[in-house]
């Protein structure tokens, strides 16, 4: 292992938050990759640790984006239903 090689970010906290609040499957895949980062780094597999970090980041980011889109779509649906209900009152 190179002495000057900094340990890659594992994105574990972000993956857990995405799993809880946004998108379950993408968050779980992010957690699995995040868990590989530390073990591969400690084993001296820097390239594998970097790849796992990149994968954890990618899956977590996509889970976050999809989760936000879900919330936006639900909010729009509720808004449209609310407007339609107000139109039916009169």
Task: Tell me how many domains the chain contains.
Answer: 1
Residue 53 lies in a domain: yes
Long-range contacts of 82-89, Cβ-Cβ distance < 8 Å, separation of 24 or more? none
Establish if 5 belongs to a structural domain.
no
Look at residue 7 and tell me if it is in a domain. Answer: no
- The yes-or-no verdict on residue 77 having pLDDT over 70 is yes
Residues 6+ apart with CB under 8 A from 70: 22, 23
46 within domain boundaries: yes
Q: At what angle do helices 24-42 and 12-21 cross, to 10 degrees?
A: 170
Mean pLDDT over all residues of the chain? 92
Residue 29 lies in a domain: yes
Q: Which domain holds residue 63?
A: 12-89
**2: in domain:** no
Q: Give residue 27's pLDDT band: very low, low, confident or very high (50, 70, 90).
A: very high
Q: What is the pLDDT of residue 85?
A: 85
Residues 47-70: pLDDT tens digits? 999 999 999 999 999 999 999 999
User: Whole-model pTM?
Assistant: 0.81
Indicate whether 4 belongs to any domain.
no
């Amino acid at each position: 292992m190179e002495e000057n090689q900094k340990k890659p970010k594992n994105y574990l906290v972000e993956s857990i938050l995405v799993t809880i609040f946004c998108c379950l499957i993408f968050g779980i895949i992010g957690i699995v990759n995040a868990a590989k980062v530390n073990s591969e780094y400690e084993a001296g597999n820097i390239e594998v640790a970097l790849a796992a970090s990149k994968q954890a980041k990618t899956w977590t980011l996509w889970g976050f984006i999809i989760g936000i889109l879900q919330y936006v779509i639900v909010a729009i649906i509720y808004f449209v239903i609310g407007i339609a209900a107000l139109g039916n009152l009169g």
